Structure 1
Amino acid sequence: MPRPRLILILGDQLSPGLSSLAEGNPARDRIVMAEVREEAGYVPHHRKKLVFLFSAMRHFAARLRRQGWTVDYHGLDQGLGDLCDAVLKSAREFDAGELLVTEPGEYRLREAMKRHWPQRLSLSVRLLEDRRFLCRAETFRDWAAGRKQLRMEFFYREMRRHTGLLMEPDGEPVGGRWNFDADNRKRYDGKLRLPGPARFEPDATTRQVIDLVAEHYPDRFGDLEPFWFAVTETQAEEALAHFLEQALPHFGDYQDAMTEGDDFLFHSLLSPYLNAGLLDPLKVCEAAERCYREGRAPLNAVEGFIRQILGWREYVRGIYWLLMPDYKEENRLASHADLPWFYWSGETKMRCVAEAVRATREHAYAHHIQRLMVTGNLALLLGVEVKQIHEWYLAVYVDAYEWVELPNTLGMVMHADGGYLGSKPYAASGKYIQRMSDYCGACRYKVSSAEEDNSCPFNSLYWHFIQRHRGRFGKHPRMGMVYKAWERMAPARRRAILQRAEALLDDIENL
């Protein structure tokens, strides 16, 4: 009779269809789950993120026990250093012949399992493919082979064809267009009711985890309460249903909008559940498509939502596994400034940045435009060291795991990869923020000027960025108009703008 096996389930693998569970046998094998210091602290994760993950893990462990599995659950109070320590503790109590693990989503952990764990554990370690994604890493590698540029739009079209989502029987996209992004840029005017996300009252398990995190991480960034995230598959499905009914019909129009009156607008807040495994991405996309087919949501909303999951989410995962580990060291724009402390404190006179950091501190969440065009745009213009801004995003957001966060930060936000994710940098002046939000009206800075002492920092920093990277972008086909506009300015004004920017860069902490 074969020896029993240990099955390690990670905190972002809370899916009943996990490949390691499918391979295992509840009558013979034993599951290991663990809350360990290394995973909680290799970056200073937001306390609400820890509560979400630990509570969801505990609920998933309870579900597995109800299904007949034996689960060794190692809580944070056991003081285990890393995941291998947890497996070793279980292995000593269980005569296992092998460890099964669904492949982790982080290169650091995968390499440790492959290179170091077999010797530490005196066990063979078998990594199984994570089949919860819609594009295998090998499939993405084949698609990327021979291409000079890996544009998400073309990958997305292939995924539409592969899945049949929003496709006509003749192979053409529904509505005659692949992408309705141009229809998704309205400024919120306050007239429509904002539904807010689905909220769930913490049960006894979650309350225990809140107390645990408060005890172990009293000074860590992030508010612990109110805590309202879904922590089970059933709750996550309720959150999906809430979004589809209450928010999806208007999501497309306002997906790039920001308002001081609400932190969520019509966004789904489903990414934490998708990335932890509580929701299946294909089922989520199919549910959104049904809303269009049944006339419950317009095409621009449904296509925009599906594109984020089927297109962008799968694309950045493919980029991550294609280019790691060298990708993590990219810094093509030579960005070396320190991350300003106000990214943690929120103490800045820039209203948009203060609001984004406040929302982040309160919810472990800010929507994608706040991340890209406010905190990300500022980090790009300031030339913040890529590693520092990467670790900040990884730490503070409940949906952040390295496979999804690193390409977004290094590639899309910081343009540090030379253009894999975006043909040009997502740099913008304060005019973009004024157009898409109501932040500027209450700000101490003046968005209508760039060279005055009280002018919006984004304005002068934008032109400083354009000037200092002229050698790289001066002949870029998509940036020619920008450089022509810069050249048309009077020399005295250009000098004043650059002087204003230099003064800001010399005193970053007081922006």
Structure 2
Amino acid sequence: MKIARLVLGDQLNYQHSWYDDTNDDVVYFMAEMRQETDYVKHHIQKVVAFFKSMRSFAVWLKNEGCEVVYYQLDDERNQQDLVSNLKQLIKEHSIEKFEYQLPDEYRLDEQLKNFCNELEIETEAFDSEHFLTSRTDFTDFFEGKKQLVMEYFYRNMRKKYDIMMLTAKDPEGGKWNFDHSNRKKWKGSPAIPEEKQMKNDVSNICKMISNAAVKTIGNIDIDNFHWPTNRKASLDVLNYFCENLLVHFGDYQDAMHTEEHFLFHSRLSFAMNSKMLHPKEVIETVVSYWRNHKDVIDISQVEGFVRQILGWREYMRGMYWKEMPNYRTLNKLNNTNSLPDFFWTGNTKMNCLKHAISQSLDKAYAHHIQRLMITGNFALLTQMHPDEVDEWYLGIYIDAIEWVEITNTRGMSQFADGGLVATKPYVSSGSYIHKMSNYCKDCVYKVSKKETEDACPFNSLYWNFLDEKREYFKGNQRMSMMMNLLNKMDKTKLEALKSRARAVIANPDNY
């Protein structure tokens, strides 16, 4: 029986059971398509990274003895649409059975299910063999519970997989969570090692993308492309993180600095989200390294890292499959404003936004606090429509795939889901930004001022947001302290703050 197996661009799992044995009756199909480059405007580095990684994977498959049909973007056979390409493949190769791995994006899942329903040949869907939970484990775990609390889910995952457990019930170090130890501001020391260097020639891919007139955002250095695009390089980045960055990762994982783009972060998310690395092997490698270096690496450094992968990453995927497709329509705070132009250029006088956005445009990267408490915070305080915020985050970051992007953006960052992911909105005045970064130091606005023309816009925006949305938060216990402060505020002062905020919201590109 002649079998066609589809491998999507984020299914580059070198360890999948599909590849345990070579079968001459199986043809693997991969394609770079306008369907995928055009459904949202992506960062040029994101498009390049996926194409380069897909090509590397196809070469590996061929070296393993597999038959591979690969359509580059400019291949004359390429119809730029997944269904059209598959129909063509099935006809040309006289395919008798179609197989695919379950996609992690709802739109592709629906597209492939509909396609299979139309086929007259046999079809079969397989697990991607990547995640530590199934699509339904999350829903099953929270069955009957009033709140979908990530901490409980994380603890259960620690127990289930025996990760950093002293006994079957007790965590190593006596605590489940060392988050309070992970909030240091980086002030120039300890020294941050240089980023892991990789040699990737992407000039031909960039030329192809340009010739095809694919619309992208951001910048790329074709001679200095430092993202892993195969399994070996991904493992090298993992080992580099363990040997050079893990020792201070936890302490400074929330820190931000104008002179440092990556600090002690691993930059492994693209390698994992494309499935070149399995989350369990990442966790086990990091934990093992820590065990062998406990004399210099504190448990708080490694627990924060494990929590992000074992807890938060799996939690967000579970939320995605529980709540889609309705999740992408949620706008519980009824925000309607549009993104300012500076989200696409970085041209703003607000130093924190200038650095976070410019870094995103240059590197296709910003760590979680830059995304949450700088760009996300501003978007929420200025009451931007979550559709526009989603599109920007999905496009600009190299690791952004909808299952992980939309739950973090529409959920945690924008509170558009009304509290499914986060129990309160993640908003702050300029004081938090000042606490965790040096962004305020050279800013034209003063973080210590509130209503004046030279006051940090975040200060007035914060109180205006609380006042504008007070009806949404009146029953939220985690917001009670701030709402009480708002209710006690002098009315004249509040009106001055709101006037300043209205000016910013009306013309954000002026600030």
Which category describes the TM-score, using the shorter chain as reference length?
Answer: over 0.9
Rounded to whole Å, the distance in 1 between the matches of 2:301 and 2:236 is 20
**SS at structure 2 position matched to 1:344:** helix
Percent identical: 40
**SS at structure 2 position matched to 1:32:** strand
Rounded to whole Å, the distance in 1 between the matches of 2:476 and 2:168 is 38
Deviation at 1:105, TM superposition (A): 0.6
Deviation at 1:178, TM superposition (A): 0.3
Deviation at 1:90, TM superposition (A): 1.9
Letter in 2 for 1:132: H
Deviation at 1:20, TM superposition (A): 4.6
**SS at structure 2 position matched to 1:202:** coil
Rounded to whole Å, the distance in 2 between the matches of 1:164 and 1:21 is 28
For 1:415, the equivalent position in structure 2 comes to 415
Matched, 1:27 2:43: no
Matched, 1:91 2:90: yes
The question of whether the paired residues in 1 share the 8 Å contact of 2:32 and 2:80 is answered with no
**SS at structure 1 position matched to 2:136:** helix
Rounded to whole Å, the distance in 2 between the matches of 1:76 and 1:457 is 44
For 1:60, the equivalent position in structure 2 comes to 57
Deviation at 1:397, TM superposition (A): 0.5
Letter in 2 for 1:235: A
The question of whether the paired residues in 2 share the 8 Å contact of 1:450 and 1:460 is answered with yes
The question of whether the paired residues in 2 share the 8 Å contact of 1:20 and 1:128 is answered with no
The question of whether the paired residues in 2 share the 8 Å contact of 1:381 and 1:465 is answered with yes
Deviation at 1:40, TM superposition (A): 0.9
Rounded to whole Å, the distance in 1 between the matches of 2:116 and 2:354 is 43
User: Aligned ranges for residues 360-379 of structure 1 at < 5 Å?
Assistant: 360-379=360-379
Q: Indicate the larger mover: 168-177 or 414-423.
A: 168-177
Rounded to whole Å, the distance in 2 between the matches of 1:448 and 1:323 is 41
Deviation at 1:239, TM superposition (A): 0.4
Residues 209-235 of structure 1 deviation map (CA, whole Å, 9 limit, x = unaligned) = 232223334752111213111111001
Rounded to whole Å, the distance in 1 between the matches of 2:22 and 2:349 is 58
**SS at structure 1 position matched to 2:441:** helix
Matched, 1:213 2:212: no
The question of whether the paired residues in 2 share the 8 Å contact of 1:149 and 1:420 is answered with yes
**SS at structure 1 position matched to 2:379:** helix
Residues 252-308 of structure 1 deviation map (CA, whole Å, 9 limit, x = unaligned) = 000000000111000000000000011111011011111221215211110000000
Residues 147-178 of structure 1 deviation map (CA, whole Å, 9 limit, x = unaligned) = 11101100000000001011013530000100
Letter in 2 for 1:436: M
**SS at structure 2 position matched to 1:247:** helix
The question of whether the paired residues in 2 share the 8 Å contact of 1:186 and 1:257 is answered with yes
For 1:135, the equivalent position in structure 2 comes to 133
For 1:424, the equivalent position in structure 2 comes to 424
For 1:265, the equivalent position in structure 2 comes to 263
**SS at structure 1 position matched to 2:478:** coil
Deviation at 1:420, TM superposition (A): 1.0
Q: 1:319 to 1:19 in 2, by over 3 A?
A: farther
Rounded to whole Å, the distance in 2 between the matches of 1:325 and 1:377 is 25
For 1:222, the equivalent position in structure 2 comes to 218
The question of whether the paired residues in 1 share the 8 Å contact of 2:38 and 2:214 is answered with no
Rounded to whole Å, the distance in 2 between the matches of 1:359 and 1:493 is 36
- The normalised TM-score by structure 2 is 0.96
Rounded to whole Å, the distance in 2 between the matches of 1:501 and 1:124 is 60
Residues 110-158 of structure 1 deviation map (CA, whole Å, 9 limit, x = unaligned) = 0111113542x55443221222101112222210211111011000000
Matched, 1:44 2:37: no
For 2:165, the equivalent position in structure 1 comes to 167
Rounded to whole Å, the distance in 1 between the matches of 2:490 and 2:167 is 57
**SS at structure 2 position matched to 1:137:** coil
The question of whether the paired residues in 2 share the 8 Å contact of 1:291 and 1:297 is answered with no
Deviation at 1:426, TM superposition (A): 0.2
Letter in 2 for 1:354: K
The question of whether the paired residues in 2 share the 8 Å contact of 1:61 and 1:71 is answered with yes
The question of whether the paired residues in 1 share the 8 Å contact of 2:157 and 2:311 is answered with yes
Q: 1:349 to 1:379 in 2, by over 3 A?
A: same
Rounded to whole Å, the distance in 2 between the matches of 1:190 and 1:230 is 28
The question of whether the paired residues in 2 share the 8 Å contact of 1:196 and 1:266 is answered with no
Q: Indicate the larger mover: 225-234 or 471-480.
A: 471-480
Rounded to whole Å, the distance in 2 between the matches of 1:74 and 1:387 is 32
For 1:247, the equivalent position in structure 2 comes to 245
Rounded to whole Å, the distance in 2 between the matches of 1:131 and 1:116 is 22
The question of whether the paired residues in 2 share the 8 Å contact of 1:332 and 1:418 is answered with yes
**SS at structure 1 position matched to 2:362:** helix
The question of whether the paired residues in 1 share the 8 Å contact of 2:450 and 2:497 is answered with yes
Letter in 2 for 1:459: N
Letter in 2 for 1:347: N
For 1:500, the equivalent position in structure 2 comes to 500
For 2:115, the equivalent position in structure 1 comes to 116
Deviation at 1:93, TM superposition (A): 1.8
Rounded to whole Å, the distance in 2 between the matches of 1:87 and 1:476 is 50
RMSD: 1.5
Rounded to whole Å, the distance in 2 between the matches of 1:430 and 1:74 is 49
The question of whether the paired residues in 1 share the 8 Å contact of 2:42 and 2:396 is answered with yes
The question of whether the paired residues in 1 share the 8 Å contact of 2:14 and 2:231 is answered with no
Rounded to whole Å, the distance in 2 between the matches of 1:17 and 1:345 is 40
Rounded to whole Å, the distance in 2 between the matches of 1:29 and 1:401 is 28
Q: 1:402 to 1:219 in 2, by over 3 A?
A: closer
Matched, 1:185 2:183: yes
Residues 388-431 of structure 1 deviation map (CA, whole Å, 9 limit, x = unaligned) = 10011000100000011110001100101111111000011111
The question of whether the paired residues in 1 share the 8 Å contact of 2:28 and 2:69 is answered with yes
Rounded to whole Å, the distance in 2 between the matches of 1:19 and 1:454 is 60
The question of whether the paired residues in 2 share the 8 Å contact of 1:390 and 1:406 is answered with yes
Alignment coverage as a number of residue pairs: 505
For 1:151, the equivalent position in structure 2 comes to 149
For 1:286, the equivalent position in structure 2 comes to 284
For 1:460, the equivalent position in structure 2 comes to 460
For 2:233, the equivalent position in structure 1 comes to 235
Q: Where does the alignment leave 5 or more consecutive residues of structure 1 unmatched?
A: none
Residues 26-56 of structure 1 deviation map (CA, whole Å, 9 limit, x = unaligned) = 3210000000001011001111001100000
- The normalised TM-score by structure 1 is 0.96
Letter in 2 for 1:222: G
The question of whether the paired residues in 2 share the 8 Å contact of 1:7 and 1:20 is answered with no
Deviation at 1:6, TM superposition (A): 0.3
